[in-house]
Amino acid sequence: MSKMIRVDMTKGTVHYEPLNQELEAFGGRGLIAKILNDEVDPGCNPLEAENKLIICTGLLAGTPAPTSGRISIGSKSPLTGTIKEANAGGMAGYMLSRLGVKAIIVEGKSTDDGWFILKVGKDGAVLLPAGEYVGMRNYDLTEKMRTDFGEKVGVLSIGGAGERGYWNSTIQITDTRGRPSRSAARGGLGAVMGSKGLKAVVLEESGPPEIPYHEKELFNTANKNYIAGIKAHPVSGEAMPALGTAVLINIVNALGALPTNNFSAGNFGDAEKISGENLAKIQGERGGKENQPCQPGCPISCSNIYHDENGRHLTSGFEYETIALNGSNCGINDLDTIAMIDRMCDDFGLDTMETGTTIAVCMEAGKAKFGDGKAALGLVEEMIEGTELGKIMGNGTVFAGTKLGVKRIPVVKGQSIAAYDPRALKGTGVTYATSPMGADHTAGNSILEQSVTPTQKEGQVQVSTNLQVGMATFDNLGMCIFSGFCTEDPANIGYLLEMMSGRYGGEWDPDRLFTLGIKTLGLEKSFNSKAGFTEKDDALPEFMYTEKLPPTDSVFDIGPEELSGAVPFKED
C-alpha cells in the first residue's frame, strides 16, 4: 500500500499514513479531487486554514512509463474559487516516487507568521524553520537549497508572489538541471502554499523505488511498444522534438486563433518573429538548446533552453502559451523581451499565462501601448515591487480588468483564457466554458482535432467532452498529454491498457481506463456545485459571443443548452 505524508502547519507536525484502497484507485488529478471532496469544505476561504494543499504523483509514477513523472498540485483556488489541479514536469514527481510517497497533504496554517520548509528524505520528513529563506526569489532560493541540502535535491518553492498571497502565483519545480523553470502555474496555488507558511518542499535523492508489478514482463513489453508509438507520431516524434511547443505559433496563427492585442484579432503580422522556427534559429546562434527533457525518461524532449544575446541562460521551458500571451496578445514581436518576462515570472512565482493576459488588459486600459516591450517588462516589475498597480495586477486578469474599467476581459470562472481564441477553435472554447477549473487548455484542447472544422459549432461539444475525459485520465496516470497523441491509433491504447494490467493486474479495457477521467470530472463538478457554481458559470466572456474575430469573422455561437451537454456527469 502506498503512503502519504500529512503535514499539520498549525501543530507543526508531520507523519506518514497509508492510503486506503479507495484513494489507491486514483492518481494525480483524480486523487486531488477525491481528497478535497472528502476533507475540505467547498465553501471555505482558499487562503485560510480549512483549505488544504495536495501534492501527488500519478498511477504510473516510479515506472519507466514515458512522461510518467509529472507532479500534480491541487487545492481550492483563490483565483477561481473552484477546485484546482495544476501539474508540471521537472524532478519532483520522479523524486517523490523514488521516496515511496504518493501524496503530501498540507493542512492548517502556521501561527505567529512562522515560515517553514518541509524536507523529505529516505529517513523521513520534517519541518524546518525557513526564516533565512523568506523573501528570496526562486532562482536564488533553489541555488541556496542545493548548497544547504545537497546538489541533487529537488525543490518545490514559492517566490514573492506566493508569499504576498497574489492570486496569480505559482509553485515552481526544479528541472533536470536544478533550475526552478517548471511551474504548477494556474489558479494561484502559490498563494495557498504561502498562506500556510510553507516556503518550500525539499526532496532528497533516493534509490530506485520498489514498485510492485503484477506482471513486469507484460508491462515492459507494452511500454517499449508504446514508446515506439510516441516516436512514430508526427507531432510527438518529429515536430515537438524539433521546435518544442513553440511550433504552434505559425500553426495557430494560420488558423486565425492566435490571440493578438487582447484577443481582438486571431492573426499577428509578426508571428514569424516569435515562431518556433525563429526560436530555433536564435538558439543555434547563441548556444541554447532544444530537444531537452523536462523530466527523466521523456522520449519527446520538447523543452527549449533560451540564452540571452550574451550566451547566458535566460529561461527554459519556453512554451507556446507563454510566447503567445506575452507576445502577440500584447503586440510584442521580440523573443528576448518575452523570454525575460518568462524568467521574471518564474523567479518571482507568477503564472506567465495569467500575466500575459493581465498585461494586455492593462494595455487596453491605457497603462501601456500594445507592442511596447519595455513597458510590459515594467508592468511585471510593478508586481515584483508591490506598487499599487502591481498588487492589482498580482491578483489576476479579472481583478485588474475590473479595477481598471476594462470591458473586454478574457476570462472564465476568474481564470484567463489560454493562447487559443475560442471563436476560431470552438472545441477548445467548449472546454474553457465547461471545465471545472476555468479557462484551461490543458483540460481538453482541440488544436489537433481533425474530425470537425475549427470554426463550425457542429460536433464541438462531443469533441470537447472526449478530450476532457482523455485529459483527466492522463492526469490520473501522471503522464504528459503529449505522450497521448499517439493514442489516436487503437494499437497504442492497447499497449497502455497492457501497461496498466502489468502494473496493477486485472483486465483493463478502454471503459475501465477512461472511467478514471469520468469519475475525476464528476468529483470536480460535485465540489464546485457545493461551492456555489452552477451551469450559468459555464460561459465565455460576453464579447466573444458578439465581436467577430478577424480574419475568420467567427463568433462563439455555442449556447448554454448545448454547453450543458458537455461532461454531463452526475455528482459522485
> What is residue 277's three-state secondary structure?
helix
Best CA proximity match to 424, nearest among 549, 320, 547: 549
Are 359 and 376 in contact by the 8 Å Cβ rule? The answer is: yes
User: Given this model, what pLDDT does residue 105 score?
Assistant: 98
Domain-ending residue, one of 157, 185, 203: 203
Asked if residue 281 is part of any domain, the answer here is yes
Asked if residue 68 is part of any domain, the answer here is yes
Q: What is the pLDDT of residues 40-75, one digit of tens each?
A: 999 999 999 999 999 999 999 999 999 999 999 999
The single-letter DSSP state of residue 238 is I
Under the banding of pLDDT at 50, 70 and 90, the label for residue 290 is: low
Structural Rg of the chain based on CA atoms: 22
User: Given this model, what pLDDT does residue 1 score?
Assistant: 53
| CATH number of the domain that residue 397 is part of | 1.10.569.10
φ and ψ at 393, to 5 degrees? -65, -35
Grid cell 480549512 is found at 50
Are 99 and 456 in contact by the 8 Å Cβ rule? The answer is: no
Domain co-membership, 63 together with 147: yes
Rounded mean pLDDT of 119-138?
97
Domain co-membership, 169 together with 283: no
Domain co-membership, 327 together with 393: yes
**Residue 556: which residues within 8 A CB-CB, separation 6 or more?**
422, 423, 426, 429, 540, 544, 545
Q: At what angle do helices 352-364 and 373-385 cross, to 10 degrees?
A: 110
User: Given this model, what pLDDT does residue 32 score?
Assistant: 98
Q: How far is the C-alpha of 171 from the C-alpha of 443, rounded, in Å?
A: 19
User: Given this model, what pLDDT does residue 384 score?
Assistant: 98
Asked if residue 464 is part of any domain, the answer here is no
Rounded to the nearest integer, the mean pLDDT of the chain is 96
Peptide bond connecting 551 to the previous residue in cis, omega within 30 degrees of 0: yes
Best CA proximity match to 7, nearest among 93, 145, 162, 126: 126
Q: Residue 95 class from Cβ within 10 Å (0-12 exposed, 13-18 middle, 19+ buried)?
A: buried
Q: What is the pLDDT of residues 137-170, one digit of tens each?
A: 999 999 999 999 999 999 999 999 999 999 999 9
Count structural domains, the chain: 2
Asked if residue 452 is part of any domain, the answer here is no
Beta strand spans in 413-543 (E): 415-416
Domain co-membership, 183 together with 266: no
| Alpha helices (H) in 44-177, listed in sequence order | 92-98, 138-149, 160-164
Largest CA distance in the chain: 62
User: Given this model, what pLDDT does residue 317 score?
Assistant: 87
Q: How far is the C-alpha of 221 from the C-alpha of 217, rounded, in Å?
A: 6
Query: First-to-last CA distance in the chain?
Result: 24
Q: How far is the C-alpha of 199 from the C-alpha of 77, rounded, in Å?
A: 18
291 compared with 335, residue with greater pLDDT: 335
Q: How many CA atoms lie within 13 A of 279 on its CB side?
A: 36
Return the C-alpha cell found at 422: 475560442
Rounded mean pLDDT of 15-19?
95
Domain co-membership, 127 together with 172: yes
**Residue 148: which residues within 8 A CB-CB, separation 6 or more?**
none
Q: How many other CB atoms are found less than 10 A from the CB of residue 452?
A: 16
Q: How far is the C-alpha of 52 from the C-alpha of 74, rounded, in Å?
A: 8
Return the C-alpha cell found at 32: 486531488
Angle at 429 between CA 370 and CA 437, to 5 degrees: 95
Domain co-membership, 163 together with 292: no
State which residues form the domain around 299: 240-407
Domain co-membership, 199 together with 245: no
Under the banding of pLDDT at 50, 70 and 90, the label for residue 567 is: confident
Are 9 and 108 in contact by the 8 Å Cβ rule? The answer is: yes
Grid cell 516510479 is found at 62
Asked if residue 12 is part of any domain, the answer here is yes
Give me the percent of the chain exceeding a pLDDT of 90. 92
pLDDT surpassing 90 at residue 209: no
φ and ψ at 87, to 5 degrees? -130, 165
Asked if residue 383 is part of any domain, the answer here is yes
Q: What are the DSSP calls for 162-221, one per residue?
A: HHHT-SS--EEE--TTS-S-EEE-TTSHHHHHHHTTEEEEEE----------SSHHHHHH
The single-letter DSSP state of residue 271 is G
Angle at 102 between CA 101 and CA 108, to 5 degrees: 90
Q: What is the pLDDT of residues 459-495, one digit of tens each?
A: 999 999 999 999 999 999 999 999 999 999 999 999 9
> What is residue 450's three-state secondary structure?
coil
Under the banding of pLDDT at 50, 70 and 90, the label for residue 572 is: very low
| CATH number of the domain that residue 107 is part of | 3.60.9.10
Q: How far is the C-alpha of 370 from the C-alpha of 462, rounded, in Å?
A: 37
User: Given this model, what pLDDT does residue 569 score?
Assistant: 57
Domain co-membership, 258 together with 128: no
| Cα dist from 533 to 83, 422, 518, whole Å | 11, 22, 19
Under the banding of pLDDT at 50, 70 and 90, the label for residue 343 is: very high
Q: How far is the C-alpha of 548 from the C-alpha of 45, rounded, in Å?
A: 38
Domain co-membership, 115 together with 256: no
Asked if residue 110 is part of any domain, the answer here is yes
Q: How far is the C-alpha of 386 from the C-alpha of 374, rounded, in Å?
A: 18
Q: What is the pLDDT of residues 530-557, one digit of tens each?
A: 999 999 999 999 999 999 999 999 999 9
Q: How many other CB atoms are found less than 10 A from the CB of residue 562?
A: 13
Q: Amino acid identity, residue 332? A: I
> What is residue 74's three-state secondary structure?
strand
Q: What is the pLDDT of residues 393-429, one digit of tens each?
A: 999 999 999 999 999 999 999 999 999 999 999 999 9
Domain-ending residue, one of 407, 426, 452: 407
Q: What is the pLDDT of residues 430-453, one digit of tens each?
A: 999 999 999 999 999 999 999 999
User: Given this model, what pLDDT does residue 528 score?
Assistant: 97
The single-letter DSSP state of residue 374 is H
pTM, to two decimals: 0.97
Return the C-alpha cell found at 440: 484551461
Domain co-membership, 66 together with 168: yes
Rounded mean pLDDT of 186-191?
98
Domain co-membership, 259 together with 148: no
Domain-ending residue, one of 359, 392, 407: 407
Asked if residue 251 is part of any domain, the answer here is yes
Domain co-membership, 195 together with 293: no
Peptide bond connecting 296 to the previous residue in cis, omega within 30 degrees of 0: no
